[in-house]
Chains A and B, each alone.
Chain A
Amino acid sequence: MEALTRIAREDRGRLLAALIARTGDFAAAEDALQEAFVAAHLHWPRSGIPDRPEGWLLRTALRRAIDRHRKGARDGQGAATLTLLAEERAPDPMDIPDDRLRLIFTCCHPALDLKSRVALTLRTIGGLTTPEIARAFLDRDTTMGQRLSRAKAKIGAAGIPFVVPGPEDWAARLEAVLAVIYLIFNAGYSGSPGRDLCEEAVFLARLIDHLRPGEAETEGCLALMLLTHGRRAARIGPDGATVPPAHQSRTLWDAGMIAEGLATLDRAIARHTPGPFQIKAAIASLHSAPPPTDWLQIALLYDSLLRMEPTPVIRLNRAVAIAEAGEPAAAWRLLEPLLQDLAGYQPYHAATADVLARLGRIAESRAAYARAISGVASSADALFLTHRCANLPE
Chain B
Amino acid sequence: MQYMALIYSDPALGPRHGTPEFATMMQGYTAFTTMLREAGAFVSGDALQGVDTATSVSVTGGKVETMDGPFAETKEHLGGYYIFQAPDLDTAIRYAAMIPTASYGTVELRPLVVW
The interface of chain A, by Cβ under 8 A from chain B, is 109, 111, 157-161, 163, 165, 169
- Whether B90 contacts A165 by the Cβ 8 Å rule is yes
Chain A interface mostly helix, strand, loop or mixed? Answer: loop
Residues of A within 8 A of B86 (CB): 159
Determine whether B92 belongs to the interface, using a CB cutoff of 8 Å to chain A: yes
| Residues from chain B with Cβ under 8 Å of A157 in the complex | 111
Q: Which residues of B contact A161 (CB under 8 A)?
A: 87-90
Asked whether, in the complex, the Cβ of B111 is within 8 Å of the Cβ of A158, the reply is yes
The distance in angstroms between the C-alpha atoms of A111 and B3, with both chains bound, is 14
0 or 1 for each of B1-44: is its CB under 8 Å from A? (1 = yes): 10100000000000000000000000000000000000000000
Alpha-carbon distance A165/B93, docked complex (angstroms): 13
Interface 1/0 per residue, B71-114 and A, CB below 8 Å:
00000000000000011111011000000000000000101000
Please give, as numbers and ranges, the residues of chain A lying within 8 Å of B1 by CB-CB distance: 159
Residue on B with the closest CB to A169? B90
B interface, CB within 8 angstroms of A: 1, 3, 86-90, 92-93, 109, 111
Residues of A within 8 A of B90 (CB): 160-161, 163, 165, 169
CB nearest to A105 among chain B residues: B90
> How far, in angstroms, from A109 to B89 measured CA to CA in the complex?
10
Are B88 and A160 closer than 8 Å at their CB atoms? yes
Q: Which chain A residues border B111 with CB–CB below 8 Å? A: 157-159
Residues of chain A within 8 A of B88, CB atoms compared: 159-161, 163
Q: How far is the CB of B42 from chain A (nearest CB, A)?
A: 18
Q: How far does the Cβ of B64 sit from chain A's closest Cβ, in whole Å?
A: 33
CA distance A169 to B3 in the complex (A): 20
Selected contact of B92 from candidates A109, A159, A163, A169, CB within 8 Å: A159
In the complex, besides A157-B111, A161-B88, 18 extra interface pairs with C-beta distance below 8 angstroms are A111-B89, A111-B93, A158-B89, A158-B109, A158-B111, A159-B1, A159-B86, A159-B87, A159-B88, A159-B89, A159-B92, A160-B88, A160-B89, A161-B89, A163-B88, A163-B90, A165-B90, A169-B90
Residues of A within 8 A of B3 (CB): 159
Task: Give the distance to chain B from A236, nearest Cβ to Cβ, in Å.
Answer: 44
Residue of B nearest to A74 (CB): B114
Contact partners of B87 in chain A: CB under 8 A: 159, 161
Give bound CA distance, A157 to B92, whole Å. 13
Residue of A nearest to B109 (CB): A158
Q: Report how far A189 CA is from B42 CA in the complex, Å.
A: 49
A157 to B87, CA, bound (A): 12
Considering the chains assembled together, what is the distance between the CA atoms of A169 and B93 in angstroms? 11
Contact residues in A for B109 (Cβ distance below 8 Å): 158
Which A-B residue pairs are the 10 nearest by beta carbons? A161-B88, A159-B89, A159-B88, A159-B1, A160-B89, A158-B89, A158-B111, A161-B90, A111-B89, A159-B111
Q: Tell me the bound Cα distance from A160 to B92 in angstroms.
A: 10
CA separation between A163 and B88, bound complex, in Å? 10
How far is A165 from B88 in the complex, measured between Cα atoms in Å?
A: 12
Q: Roughly how many angstroms separate A159 CA and B109 CA in the complex, as a whole number?
A: 11
In this complex, the member of B87, B90, B109 whose beta carbon has the largest number of chain A beta carbons within 10 angstroms is: B90
Cα separation A109 to B90 with both chains bound (whole Å):
9
Q: What B residues does A160 contact at CB under 8 A? A: 88-90
- Cα–Cα distance between A159 and B111 once the two chains are bound (Å): 8
The answer for the CA separation of A158 and B89 in the assembled complex, in Å, is 6
CB-nearest residue of chain B relative to A160? B89
Which of chain A's residues has its CB closest to B86's CB? A159
In the complex, what residues of B have CB within 8 A of residue A111's CB?
Answer: 89, 93
Minimum CB distance partner of B88 in chain A: A161
Q: Which residue of B lies closest to A166 (CB)?
A: B90
- CA gap between A158 and B108 in the complex, in Å: 12
CB distance from A115 to the nearest CB of B (A): 19
With a cutoff of 8 Å between Cβ atoms, the chain B residues found around residue A109 in the complex are 89
Whole-angstrom distance between the Cβ of B94 and the nearest chain A Cβ = 8
